[in-house]
Amino acid sequence: MKSETLARSIVILVFVTLLTWLGLAASDRMDILNITASMPERGGWQPGDFTARVGEPLLVHLTSHDVVHGFAIGQMEGFEAEVLPGKVTEVELVFSEPGTYTYYCTRWCGPNHWRMRGTITVIGEGKPEAEVVTQPLYLRLGIDIDAEHPAETIPPGKPSAQEGIGLWGMVPSTYAAEMLLRSSSPAELFIRMRSDSGLERVSDQAIWDLVALAYWNLTSEAALEEGQRLFSENCAACHGVSGQGDGVFSGQLGEDTHQAAIPDFTDPARMLGASPALLQGKIVRGGMGTGMPYWGTIFTDEQTWMLVDYLWSMQFDYPIDEGSKE
């Protein structure tokens, strides 16, 4: 009977120890925010929203339930974590300002990848994020970004910023004004230059080269590279690496995503009728039922313009030296 008592004690001890250990281990997880990632069709981020306090570090455990995802917070540059299936990635989040932040997936995890977003509400003392955000240009200009915007005219050949350098001295400085360039489509700028008496002896192609150079002058090699990176990471899945609307998910966007035909950014008839402000608006606000997501909470203002400037590289030849700039 002593043996039986000992055996029972051992069984109880083993299982009580096991359960206690598991209980303690589970309680250790109480202070950790566990976020799981699944493809949007299977639930996306769980939880889809959470709250943090200004200045208080928040320990987050990220794990994926299916494929590799990426975790990033909109408008917080330089922060990105890889979220691997079944593995835990630990990140510590600290917010210096209250406000509403968007976290999103940075990997092309599936056709609805772009839907994979969540919201972080940061509460506490500090200057709210909202106060420092200025109204986007398209709103200030009152542009209807859903209206058709065909180009009134298109160039006979692909405009080259390099070719425009020799003639730039003839161009009045008003055409270099940033506000004019951001609010005008290339076609509008062409028409305006074409009607300028100082440029009447210049050929149509040469005018277009000047237009290309004007937009090039707004940007830089570094900004274009960053724009290309942003495009590759966030846009190319649908729009295609070359911008022709042939991304890997373009064929998988079914009717349930309400998408319109994905635009071809290399089509001058479509693109040269759009002003940079209009393109900014489409990026910031999204396509409203077309399947194009909104990026306003994710990209900074600067990043949005970098993307817009990069789009012009699909219309204009930009391979010119930094040193050749005005």
CA distance 29 to 63: 14
Q: At its nearest, how many Å lie between another protein and the CB of residue 7?
A: 4
Burial of 17 (0-12, 13-18, 19+ CB in 10 A): exposed
Map tokens 């070359």 to a residue. 242
Nearest distance, CB of residue 91 and another protein, angstroms: 11
Contact 64, 37 (CB under 8 A): yes
Measured from the CB atom, is 15 or 79 closer to another protein? 15
Q: Which amino acid is at 118?
A: G
Q: Which is nearer to another protein, 9 or 324 (CB)?
A: 9
**Contact flag: residue 140 with another protein (CB under 8 A):** no
CB under 8 A: which stretch of 63-71, 231-239, 245-253, 263-271 binds another protein?
63-71
Using CB under 8 A, which residues numbered 15 to 34 contact another protein? Answer: 15, 18, 22, 25, 29
- The residue among 90 and 178 lying less far from another protein, judged by its C-beta, is 90
Task: Please say which residue, 67 or 218, places its beta carbon nearer to another protein.
Answer: 67
Query: Per CB under 8 A, which region of 85-93, 207-215, 232-240, 272-280 contacts another protein?
Result: 85-93
The whole-angstrom separation of Cα 2 and Cα 10 is 12
Q: 52 has which bridge partners?
A: 122
Q: Distance between CA 271 and CA 307 in Å, rounded?
A: 14
What type of residue sits at position 239? Answer: H
H helix or E strand, kind and range, residue 284:
helix 276-285
Smaller CB separation from another protein, 87 or 140 = 87
Name every residue whose Cβ is closer than 8 Å to that of residue 47 and which is 6 or more positions away in sequence. 35, 118
Site for another protein in 90-129 (CB under 8 A): 90
Position 288 contacts another protein (CB under 8 A): no
* Tokens (6 digits) for 86: 């079944």
Nearer to another protein, 29 or 258 (CB): 29
169 burial class (0-12, 13-18, 19+ CB within 10 angstroms)? exposed
- The yes or no reply on residue 7 touching another protein (CB under 8 A) is yes
Shortest CB 248 distance to another protein, Å: 19
Q: Output 20 or 96, the one with its CB closest to another protein.
A: 20
In angstroms, what is the minimal distance from the CB of 18 to another protein? 6
Total chain residues near another protein (CB under 8 A): 23
User: Which residue stretch of 8-16, 49-57, 94-102, 240-248 sits at the interface with another protein (rule: CB under 8 A)?
Assistant: 8-16
Tell the smallest beta-carbon distance from residue 111 to another protein (Å).
Answer: 18
Tallying the residues shown for the chain, one arrives at 326
Chosen residue from 43, 53, 54, 61 binding another protein by CB under 8 A: 61
- DSSP labels, 207-264: HHHHHHHHHHTT--HHHHHHHHHHHHHHTHHHH-TTSSS--TTGGG--GGGT--PPP-
Return the DSSP state at 135: P
> Measuring CA to CA, which residue among 208, 204, 205, 187 is closest to residue 278?
187
| Contact with another protein (CB under 8 A) among 33, 50, 65, 259 | 65
Q: Which residues bind another protein (CB under 8 A)?
A: 3-4, 6-8, 10-11, 14-15, 18, 22, 25, 29, 61, 63-66, 85-88, 90
